[in-house]
């Protein structure tokens, strides 16, 4: 299990490393200015693997362009990052990204809970173009949460699972215990998603729970 520091401001990269993060996510759709310049400075300042994410508005982000424009924005910063987060709507770009040696986090963010059948079907679709499927859902009750834990334990690895919102934020701590590869945490004043633990909090949880 790896703690990912999801950054809304690239100036927090060094702090994330100092606090114990294992990886850094640059939420490029939340950045201002020169995206490639931000990525280059992060690469110079930290030794952690870096994920580049340009999250679409349809999945909770602030990028509203098409797949070609998405690729044009990401291409200049490819030399400075290790992973690219790709949603299904942008998956046609995955072969070109993998061809230059970048690993792909194939992601899907759902504003509802999926059935177990839907979860396994989605996992297969994401793994078809990515190295690590990332499936984020919105449980409505405890039965949904149990299904998500069961899926995480049974799914092919690596897998990343998580929840949207704060109602079941405890799942963010539980899912890594059942095989979720990545847990996204905040650094600084602005989390990238409601309900995130901070990096410092999750480092403490990992130590206490022996994860």
DSSP string of 11-58?
GGHHHHHHHT-SEEEEEGGG--S-HHHHHHHHHHH--S-EEEE--BGG
Q: What is the mean pLDDT of residues 171-195?
A: 92
Share of the chain above pLDDT 90, in %: 95
Strand 132-137 relative to strand 2-7, pairing = unpaired
Query: Which residues are known catalytic residues?
Result: 109, 134
43 contacts 16 by C-beta, under 8 angstroms: no
pLDDT per position as a tens digit, 53-87: 999 999 999 999 999 999 999 999 999 999 999 99
The span from the CA of 35 to the CA of 26, in Å, is: 9
pLDDT (tens digit per residue) in 83-133:
999 999 999 999 999 999 999 999 999 999 999 999 999 999 999 999 999
- The structure tokens listed for 165 are 């919102």
> What are the chain's domains?
2-209 (3.20.20.70)
pTM: 0.96
């Amino acid at each position: 299990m790896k703690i990912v520091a999801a950054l809304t401001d690239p100036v927090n990269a060094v702090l994330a490393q100092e606090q114990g993060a294992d990886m850094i996510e640059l939420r490029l759709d939340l950045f201002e200015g020169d995206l490639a310049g931000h990525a280059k400075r992060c690469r110079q300042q930290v030794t952690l693997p870096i994920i580049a994410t340009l999250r679409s508005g349809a999945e909770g982000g602030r990028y509203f362009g098409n797949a070609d424009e998405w690729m044009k924005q990401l291409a200049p910063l490819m030399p400075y990052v290790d992973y690219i987060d790709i949603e299904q709507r942008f998956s046609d770009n995955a072969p070109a990204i993998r061809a230059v040696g970048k690993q792909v986090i194939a992601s899907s963010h759902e504003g509802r809970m999926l059935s177990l059948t839907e979860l396994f079907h989605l996992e297969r679709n994401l793994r078809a173009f990515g190295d690590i499927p990332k499936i984020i859902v919105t449980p409505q009750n405890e039965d949904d949460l149990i299904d998500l834990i069961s899926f995480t334990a049974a799914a092919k690895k690596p897998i990343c699972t998580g929840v949207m919102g704060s109602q079941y934020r405890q799942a963010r701590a539980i899912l890594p215990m059942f095989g979720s590869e990545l847990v996204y945490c905040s650094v600084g004043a602005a989390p990238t998603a409601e309900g995130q633990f901070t990096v410092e909090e999750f480092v403490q949880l990992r130590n206490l729970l022996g994860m």
